[in-house]
Amino acid sequence: MNVLEIRGVSKTYGRVHALRNVDLTIRKGEMVSIVGPSGSGKSTLLQIAGTLDRPTSGTVRVAGYDVSTLSDSQLSALRARFIGFVFQQFHLSPSLSALDNVADGLLYTGLSRRQRRERAEAALQLVGLSHRLGHRPNQLSGGQMQRVAVARAVAGRPPLLLADEPTGNLDSEAGAEVLSLFRTLNARGITIAIITHDTEVAMACPRRIRVRDGLVRSEVS
Amino acid sequence: MSTALRPARLRTTDMARLGTSGLRARPARAILAALGIAIGIATMVTVVGISASSQEKLLRQLDELGTNLLRVSPGDSLFGDKVKLSKNAAEMVKRIDGVTSAGQTAETGTTVRRNDLIPSGISLGITVQATSLDLLTTLDGRVRQGTWLNAATERQPVVVLGAVAAERLGLLTPNAQVWIDNRWFTVIGILDRTPLAEEIERSALVGFPAAKEYLNHDGHPTTVYERSADEAVESVRAVLARTVSPENPNEAKVSRPSDALKAKAAAAGAFTGLMLGLGAVALFVGGVGVANTMVVAVLERRREIGLRRSFGATRAQVRNQFLVEALLLSAFGGGAGVLLGALATFVYAQLNGLPTVVPLWALGGGLGITVVIGALAGIYPALRAARVPPTVALST
């Protein structure tokens, strides 16, 4: 089954063509890297794949749902259930503990506070941070912060994990840490798409997609 | 293939926690923003509280004094001169059904002075009045020091001073001599205040026989006081003028001294519009402060909004988060303002010897107003927050 299916998608901002007629399918269980220079359109691709934005034309299907037929609140529900995001800058709340940061990511799933915290604890255990539950982000290293963010993205057990330059703000050691975490998660059945500049990360993915000038140039698998 | 997608509802507790998260993250700013609201509400609650307290004091006084005292004095005749009441007016009034006691006084037209060296023109606003012995019971007055007149002393050159008169003469204790109409009178008593008959407070009282003997008074009273059973007040009132002045009933003026006190209480209960207006202005400014804080918060937290949208928050949930935050901010200010206002009222009442009264409607109303202000101040920022596109979560 295809977790993500993009067909003939274009996205224009005024006169700028960020994406031109892109086709991309990601199947369940894949781990894909999307590489390309700045301005190539890879971030736009991620926004559209993550239903944060809608394409100008073409169809996007996430977990079988045709995004163009969904209302904004249905899209929100789709994101809550099917997609987890990891950002370059972690986006953790400095005033919350690691546990509460992760639990916050489940706020819109309909789970009770207790259930959210239980799942958050399990997710932090999964990323190897069960000994850092009560720590605030400023008490954690960069690699640990990104692992907290990954825990938050997967705590709701979404079928698709989208990561935007997840190692961009980390040194190579922390980057390797996060990359191996992605591998572990992928081995547990989570489909992962990573936007990256980092060749090491790209090489670690079984499937690589190169984007340039709004076009998908090549696929290596 | 697909089940219908429906966003999960946020529980009330989650929404409340979410609404406070921004406030907890920047407590100093929240306090400053709430301060404006607090000052406005505190002002309004204090204004209402102080006037209610003043009114309560007067009403309690009124309760204590009773409203069953009537006062009759001669009006002007058609030709402009004073009508005379009959000498035994009080005695006749006592015979009216329902009357429990009656007393009369008469202005003697003389002055009282501390000694014979003070020029006669200086009256200090004190009138020398002849009085019947039952005046004190009728007014429900009390002697503060010394004694009241009796059947013996009412014939002698002795005087009982009203509270204000004693004060003005500088007399704290009786047994002093005062100079009335070219002879010494001995002060034998000083009265407590008589709020229902302030003219008695400003009087030096001598007996009717003494007034006749020493002051050349003709014995016609100028005022008759009468107290009756509460339910008889109206019926007594109807016949009072005819009783004291059978020939010219239209020329006797009947009044109810407690009415003046009632009017005073009503006036005290009416808040000063100016102060209330100032409170309203402070409240408005406070509301603008909350709106401003929220607009800034939305600008600063675009990233957070995008992040929440990526978690699956709907536009409505983002909007509600900021609306709740504005409401809580405002209600927080309102709560503090209500407490401050009640406290200020209490302090003012203590300092001025008033009972502390803060009407519940003022407290509830104060909080209610803040909720309305919070909603008004929050709507625009909340709508702006809801329009933040989810993609800002990804933009670096």
pLDDT at position B230: 83
Pairwise CB contact (< 8 Å): A107 & B311: yes
- pLDDT band (50, 70, 90) for residue B383: very high
What percentage of chain B carries pLDDT values higher than 90?
42
* B84 within 8 A of B239, measured Cβ to Cβ: no
Give chain B positions within 8 Å (CB) of A63.
Answer: 2
Radius of gyration of chain A, Cα coordinates, nearest whole angstrom: 17
Give chain B positions within 8 Å (CB) of A50.
Answer: 310, 394
Residue A75 has which token pair?
């899209």
Residue B195 has which token pair?
């709020």
Partner A contacted by B393 (CB < 8 A):
yes
Q: Closest to B313 (Cβ–Cβ): which among A52, A108, A164?
A: A108
Pairwise CB contact (< 8 Å): B393 & A95: no
Mutate to test the interface with A, among B17, B302, B304, B314 (most CBs of A within 10 A): B314
- Give the distance from residue A118's alpha carbon to the nearest chain B alpha carbon, in angstroms: 16
Residue B392 has which token pair?
């800002």
Backbone angles phi, psi at B55, to 5 degrees: -65, -40
pLDDT at position B77: 63
* Angstrom distance (rounded) from CA A29 to CA A10: 26
Residues of chain A with pLDDT under 70: 220-221
Residue type, B108: T
Tell me which of B2-6, B256-260, B330-334 is least confident.
B2-6
pLDDT at position A200: 87
What's the start-to-end Cα distance of chain B, in Å? Answer: 37
Is pLDDT at B1 greater than 50 in this prediction? no
Q: Closest to A43 (Cβ–Cβ): which among B2, B13, B394?
A: B394
Pairwise CB contact (< 8 Å): A87 & B394: yes
Average pLDDT estimate for B181-209:
91
3-state secondary structure of B309: helix
Mutate to test the interface with B, among A45, A93, A107 (most CBs of B within 10 A): A107
- List own/partner pairs for B211-215 with CB under 8 A and 24 or more apart: B211/B106, B211/B108, B211/B130, B212/B130, B213/B155, B214/B157, B214/B180, B214/B181, B214/B183, B214/B185, B215/B108, B215/B110, B215/B128, B215/B130, B215/B180, B215/B181
3-state SS of A157-183 is CCCEEEEECCCCCCCHHHHHHHHHHHH
Report which of residues B127 and B251 the model is more confident about. Answer: B127
Residue type, B278: L
pLDDT at position B117: 84
* Angstrom distance (rounded) from CA B378 to CA B290: 8
Pairwise CB contact (< 8 Å): B303 & A113: no
pLDDT at position B82: 66
Other CB atoms within a 10 A radius of the CB of residue A126 amount to 18
Q: Closest to A108 (Cβ–Cβ): which among B1, B13, B311?
A: B311
What are B267-280's pLDDT values in tens digits?
Answer: 777 767 787 788 88
User: Nearest to residue A81, comparing CAs of B385, B4, B304?
Assistant: B4
Give chain B positions within 8 Å (CB) of A79.
Answer: 309-312
Helices (H), chain B: 12-25, 27-65, 89-94, 135-139, 163-169, 198-201, 208-215, 233-244, 257-269, 273-300, 302-311, 315-351, 360-387
Average pLDDT estimate for B100-123:
86
pLDDT at position B159: 94
Please state whether beta strands A57-62 and A65-66 pair in parallel, antiparallel, or not at all (unpaired): antiparallel
Partner B contacted by A52 (CB < 8 A):
yes
Partner B contacted by A53 (CB < 8 A):
yes
What percentage of chain B carries pLDDT values higher than 70?
96
What are A78-127's pLDDT values in tens digits?
Answer: 999 999 999 988 999 998 999 999 999 999 999 999 999 999 999 999 99
Report which of residues B58 and B185 the model is more confident about. Answer: B185
User: Nearest to residue A78, comparing CAs of A120, A115, A46, A50?
Assistant: A50
Q: In what order do the strands lie in the sheet with A2-13?
A: A16-27, A2-13, A57-62, A65-66
Report which of residues A42 and B323 the model is more confident about. Answer: B323
> Model's pTM, two decimal places?
0.76
Tell me which of B273-287, B326-340, B376-390 is least confident.
B273-287
Residue A205 has which token pair?
């993915």
For Cα atoms A39, A42, A45, give the angle at the middle one, nearest 5 degrees.
125
Contacts of residue B78, defined as CB under 8 A and 6 or more positions apart, other chains included, come to none
Partner B contacted by A164 (CB < 8 A):
yes
